[in-house]
Structure 1
Amino acid sequence: MDGKPPEFTLELSADRSNVKDVVKGIMHTVFFHRFFTPLTPATHDVLDTTLPYVSEDDIEELIETRATALVRSLDTASSTHTSPQYSAKSNGTSRGSLAIKFLEKKRRKGWFIAKADEETVWETWTIEVTLTSARSEPEAERNRRVMESSLQKAAMKVVTTVNEEKGHIPPITTNESNPFPYQIVVNPKT
């Protein structure tokens, strides 16, 4: 793998009442396609869209905590604490992101000393979220259509990307249950 590992960006739009479910749904979709251990197939419905779901306790817990942290940061950024769907602000949007990084463990070589493994990123998925709000019922309905559309586009982009982009995946060189560690970083510095 030469240079920088591939980074794929997914753009989502969501209102306050749905942002956590939308973000969790896309994170589960990414993990479903990039978690290289045997999984029991599961699905979860988010905004009338059926998405794959990873029912591994450690992944579920990590996704839950990171989604909660992202929602908190979006709430802090917008500092609008009115109803979850409607806002009196004319521009009631705020933005946040999170990055899912898949890592490869590489054994560092030394002359006579065994050195610790080093983890290098082989793929990053950046999820950019725009938090929307509405001042009226028609705006709320329009936002819901935009939210559903952005969720469907992001899910399709994940499926298309994982089917097309395979050449950069490192070989599995371990017998561990999960050959590739992962991280989820909320609002990463670029």
Structure 2
Amino acid sequence: MNNNATHATVTIDITLDRHNTKEVLRAILHAILFHRLYGTIKPQTFEVLDVTMPGVSDPGIERLVEEKVEAFWKGMENGANKRGQITVTLSGKHQKKSWIGITYEEEVPWEQWIVNAEIRQPKSDQERQVFNQNLAATLTKSLRTMLTHTSSEQGRASVPPITNPDVSPFPLKIVVRVGDVEVG
């Protein structure tokens, strides 16, 4: 966890294989959003390698997550690069005055989640078994990181006042990068 002057940054590093990339990324993004959306949400769960991950049952959120996971997958498929990053940025809206006195709203990030993903391919059944055990352990660790951060003093203090009942009362942005190129 990194804390720069403006917002907390939580990083999750994960190694995936082609068979479970979409399923794992979908579950991780849903789990992050489950812990950071403050409106009335309907929960759902994702079972990935015997790890139960929380999720959000909301058509708009599901569509957003699906679009970003597909963008990541297509970026990986189209290039030689097997590393990518999905960044979830949560912002608050703040009133700001321009130098000529006009007031406008500015989005200021209060928290960022960075999922660094690398795709590798196990070469044998035994390698796959070890790979899947390591991935399940990484998912469990990621969930623990989410819980620890969001329930910590710092994690709770970083949340701005909630001013509306929307599922996502804060501007939410998800950016996908493969190599050094933004995709999707």
Q: TM-score, normalised by structure 2?
A: 0.85
Match for 1:175 among 147, 164, 168? 164
**Aligned residue in 2 for 1:53:** 55
**Inter-CA distance 125–111: structure 2 relative to 1 (3 Å threshold):** closer
Determine the structure 2 residue equivalent to 1:84: none
- Contact 1:132 1:143 survives alignment (8 Å): no
Pair 1:157 & 2:145 matched: yes
Gap runs ≥5 in structure 1: 80-93
RMSD: 2.2
User: What amino acid is the match of 2:140?
Assistant: Q
Following superposition of structure 1 onto structure 2, how do residues 1-190 of structure 1 map, counting pairs within 5 Å? 3-78=5-80, 94-109=82-97, 114-164=102-152, 165-172=155-162, 174-175=163-164, 177=166, 178-187=168-177
Q: Computing the radius of gyration over CA atoms, which structure comes out larger, 1 or 2?
A: 1
Q: Could you say which structure has the higher strand fraction?
A: 2
Tell whether the 8 Å contact from 1:5 to 1:122 is kept in structure 2 after alignment: yes
In structure 2, the residue corresponding to 1:121 is in which secondary structure? strand
Name the SS for the 2:34 alignment partner.
Answer: helix
Kindly tell me the number of residue pairs found equivalent between the two proteins.
174
Q: Percent identity?
A: 29
| Structure 2 residues not aligned, in runs of 5+ | none
State whether residues 40 and 165 of structure 2, in contact with CA within 8 Å, keep that contact through their aligned partners in structure 1.
Answer: no
Distance 1:97 1:142 in 2: 24
Cα deviation, 1:122-177, whole Å, max 9, x if unaligned, reads: 100000112110221111112111111111111111111111121221122x2352
TM-score, normalization: structure 1?
0.83
Q: Secondary structure at the match of 2:39?
A: coil
Q: Secondary structure at the match of 1:169?
A: coil
58-67 or 40-49: bigger deviation: 40-49
